[in-house]
Chain A
């Protein structure tokens, strides 16, 4: 008898798949599951069996019923979707009709775009080019080429999102350094803004997704003094006021010497407040002279060329400029937030 159940399910499968319309499908349903349907008939035939046999067969028939019900439901959904698509395709819609101007309303740029724009313009005026590099990166460019080999403790600083295909989401904009060295002739002055990712929980000041801009300059003769000057000029351009910066040692494997650049707290002027954790200074960006190994990875001879690089947090800068308390606002797409930045790309 179990053979006949298997056959019945196979037959039902074929008929359900073949049912081209909802009406045909309904007939098929009745034919199998209706009061006089084939499955119902099978169930009735169990009456004459011995109790054990009846139990086993009853379960088999019931499983068959559930299977047929599921195939009918699946097919019905499919037919409904197809019918809907057909209906949707027949609305007499004419895409060549003239466009309608949107009612005038102020639009806005994202605050990170506004800051990025200011940074880009400032650097362009100093003769830098603006580049754009991929967000999904390889271990090679994100770490190895930046003098951060596997098993280097510095990898802890940059908790990483790994992809199933072995690539990763870049943890900083620095991979662009080596890419730019490969792509452009020397001397080179470039910045590359973009989205970066760190594998960390989100709170008021931490986001797994944020924006940075990397700066890179390679020339015959460059010094720490030049780096300080450029950073000061940049920050004054962005904040449109005089700023005080200080450098202190910071360890980043791709620069040597490496620094943390702090900016005198603009909230309190250095007297100490909650923004600067009462230190009078706010940590703003890592920078330094490009490590010879990184230059080599980019095919640049460190005997002949010297470079400096920095990685500036655009999200951080936007938070400082607009006194935004929660970094999570940036990715929230909430019009109440987005409407607050009317300056656009204005200078």
Chain B
């Protein structure tokens, strides 16, 4: 929200305070200011006297005469009266320059916004042979708003020569741009009066604003019938006559531009100014368009059509609140008026509405109809219903002061059936002290609250605090809210930091956390994986490319892009997409991601509390090689090695691979394996399915591993006991055989282990060799680790074992043993 310091100074005695300096205190004590801007001279480098000098060159001037420029058709030579006594001649190309026009003149030495947007200091120029000093300017040239249409037309009678900064204080001003979000809980700060009150308290200066006095007549013009007092706690209106629609006075036009509003006409501008000043939005109806003599506040009928004054047609719902005359809705309450009753250029009689509406209703309607207006933004914050009368009076006074011949022509209709009871909070000084953790007495607490216009009755430590109405609607309701008032007033900087002293607690580690941590260490610290993160959303083409069904995914109501509308059920669509993005640069990739997937559970019943789906934590690993042959299985066995190493750090029993019964669609149906830990399946390893590779346009050979981290965490911890060291020397015995590819290495290992179980401590396969000479076979080398518990092994035992081993391998497995 834009704030004008010159306007604030009208309501509190703070005009001599440096608005730039005080803005930091405001940020630290009230709400965040995004930007502080000194306006008036578009060049921020100019300060002090130089700035004042430049400002003194911008003044009101009157066009006395115009004659054509001898050299240029579009230019005129203009005689102006700038109050200096002697008429001056300048050249102007603005289309609206004409004799009698009162405008703004920027003399030599003034700084304006040049055509390129940069500040330009005016100097004497010769324009098509005619010398010209200074120029009549547009709003945009003065850095006020974006109106380039022509030179400023001053509608009100201001003497030529008057400095613009004197005629319109908002010309030379300091603007704050307050972060609206930080005012969400401060309905009282959505107008300059409320802000002035806060700033006055902050600076310990008097707050001087009082609502003006306006005399209403005794006549009834329009009655009010509030059929929805729950949604409209207060509704007031009155009539005015003798209105003449026209441009607003110059000071108001400039102020509105400064506050981010485009001036429209006096009546619209007065309602806007009232909203920006008092904080309560108003609406003016053209009296001619209101049928009957009663305004009705009611819920809309379901499907009721209504066109707002921005020309948009809406279908209302029973949750919307409308203002209606005898026949039709004329406004969408608190959001926007109707096209059917808007003020026109020839309006002379108006009915002015000032009301208070239910915050949630206004917000719902504004969100649903996408009419997020300045009005709805204020009402949805829960405004103080007492603002209604202040705003009524302020507006009437503006009209009466600025439109000669205007008058109030009715009594003040004010339906306010149930003014809220005063809000009272009991609090004690000790509570404030303990919550803030600073030394403060009850008397000091009372003083702060009083300065912020709370009423406080103190009895020793106990305070009875009455909340002022402008803070009572939403913001302040419980003792903790008062703690905040005291804290921000004193400045949180003044609180000394002390660590809490608390009792010791029993140590506790979530199992999943140590699972992830150990796996991350094994894979990313030891096995050379780069830990990546990818989005939780999937593109449909990637889902389909991975041979998965988009309909088996959770869809988003409002995806960030229509191309990625589903939540991932697997880490691989995004990881494979990453491999593809990287593969031209990175011929070998090792990526690991630890993250959740989101599995829809069609059987789950919707619950108010728990999300009805499962969202297990998974590890997704990919190994890629752009130059590998598609038949090469090296990557697979590298992945197997890395995964089993990682799982062995988990202390949850032995890690192994087994046949994968139901390979996921993304997996190669043969080159895949189930991964088990302590006998339970915890994931799988697989080469990417060739169809997926083709579909996605993947150039590299890729092996994936998927580990269900929650499944690991669910496994009980197993500590493998120490095995006694052998007392007698052992030996190793190696055997190499050419084995049919249909035989698995594990089968041979098992057979070899069973040959002499009492002396065989371990059997491993340590080398694999394939040769094109034997397409159906591979050479496997096994090593038997042998030892006896009670004695040294004999040569005979070894020979016997050798004989049995050769025979078993040849007979059972149809293998050829190398000699």
Contacts and interface: CB of A to CB of B under 8 A. Distances in A.
B334 interface: no
Interface stretch (B87-95, B276-284, B454-462, B603-611): B603-611
Interface in B726-782: 741-747, 749, 764-766, 768, 776, 778, 780
A345 B561 CA distance: 35
B435 A162 contact: no
B757 to A, nearest CB: 20
B555 A164 contact: yes
Contacts of A248: 27-29, 32, 488, 492
B670 A162 contact: no
Contact of A88 (B567, B615, B670): B670
B363 A151 contact: yes
B764 A98 contact: yes
B598 interface: yes
B591 interface: yes
Contact of A221 (B434, B533, B776, B778): B434
Given A98-B637, A223-B434, A230 B499 contact: yes
B554 A226 contact: no
Interface residues of B, number: 136
B531 A98 contact: no
Interface stretch (A4-12, A16-24, A63-71, A124-132): A124-132
A15 interface: no
Contacts of B359: 151, 153
Interface stretch (B57-65, B101-109, B388-396, B578-586): B578-586
A285 interface: no
B595 A223 contact: no
A37 B634 CA distance: 51
Interface stretch (A38-46, A49-57, A265-273, A332-340): A332-340
A94 B633 CA distance: 10
Contacts of A334: 578, 581-582
Interface in B567-625: 567, 574-575, 578, 581-582, 585-586, 589-591, 593-596, 598, 600, 606-613, 615, 617, 623
Given A97-B768, A107-B527, A251 B181 contact: yes
Given A99-B641, A333-B591, A138 B529 contact: no
A100 to B, nearest CB: 4
B31 interface: yes
A140 interface: yes
A157 interface: yes
A102 B642 contact: yes
Contact of B745 (A96, A153, A222, A246): A96
Contacts of B1: none
B32 A99 contact: no
B670 to A, nearest CB: 5
B657 A95 contact: yes
A247 B671 CA distance: 58
Interface stretch (B265-273, B411-419, B503-511): B503-511
Interface string B495-516: 1111110111100111011000
B384 interface: no
B525 A109 contact: yes
Contacts of B245: none
A195 B741 contact: no
A336 B585 contact: yes
A187 B492 contact: no
Contact of A154 (B184, B434, B670): B184
A140 B612 CA distance: 13
A310 interface: no
Contacts of B509: 129-130
B28 A246 contact: yes
Interface stretch (B3-11, B309-317, B342-350, B478-486): B478-486
Contacts of B749: 96
Contacts of B510: 129-132
A90 B670 contact: yes
Contacts of B766: 98
B615 A338 contact: no
B536 interface: yes
Nearest to A253: B185
A144 to B, nearest CB: 9
Given A161-B556, A249-B484, A226 B437 contact: yes
A256 B613 contact: no
Which of A100, A113, A169, A344 has most chain B Cβ within 10 Å? A100
Contacts of B776: 92
B582 A335 contact: yes
B669 interface: yes
A29 interface: no
Interface in A147-180: 150-154, 156-157, 161-167, 169
A274 interface: no
Given A138-B610, A248-B32, A223 B435 contact: yes
Nearest to A226: B500
A109 B520 contact: yes
A260 B780 CA distance: 66
A345 B521 contact: yes
A100 B634 contact: yes
Contacts of A228: 492, 495, 497
Contacts of B558: 161-162, 199
Contacts of A112: 533
Nearest to A135: B596
Contacts, number: 331
A306 B582 contact: no
B690 interface: yes
Contacts of B567: 136, 163
B641 A96 contact: no
B560 interface: yes
A102 to B, nearest CB: 5
B817 interface: no
B528 A105 contact: yes
B691 interface: yes
B532 A333 contact: yes
B28 A197 contact: no
Contact of B536 (A96, A197, A345): A197
A27 interface: no
A106 B523 CA distance: 10
B436 interface: yes
Contacts of B657: 95-96
Nearest to B484: A257
B673 interface: yes
A98 B768 contact: yes
Contacts of A93: 633, 670-671
Contacts of B590: 102, 105, 107
29 contacts: A81-B691, A84-B690, A88-B690, A89-B669, A93-B670, A99-B644, A101-B641, A103-B528, A107-B590, A109-B525, A130-B513, A134-B611, A134-B615, A135-B536, A161-B559, A164-B556, A199-B558, A202-B560, A219-B502, A223-B500, A224-B495, A225-B438, A226-B500, A229-B500, A230-B499, A248-B488, A289-B480, A335-B530, A335-B582
Given A88-B690, A132-B512, 11 more contacts: A95-B744, A98-B637, A98-B641, A105-B590, A107-B525, A110-B531, A136-B554, A199-B560, A249-B488, A251-B181, A338-B531
Interface of A: 81, 84-85, 88-110, 112-113, 117, 127, 129-132, 134-138, 140-141, 150-154, 156-157, 161-167, 169, 187, 189, 195, 197, 199, 201-202, 208-209, 217, 219, 221-226, 228-230, 232-233, 246-251, 253, 256-260, 289, 291-292, 306, 330-336, 338-339, 344-345
The 4 closest A-B pairs by CB, nearest first: A225-B437, A223-B437, A99-B641, A257-B484
Interface of B: 27-32, 181-186, 359-361, 363-364, 380-381, 434-438, 478, 480-481, 483-484, 487-488, 492-493, 495-500, 502-505, 508-510, 512-513, 517, 520-521, 523-536, 554-560, 567, 574-575, 578, 581-582, 585-586, 589-591, 593-596, 598, 600, 606-613, 615, 617, 623, 633-634, 636-638, 640-642, 644, 657-659, 668-673, 689-691, 741-747, 749, 764-766, 768, 776, 778, 780
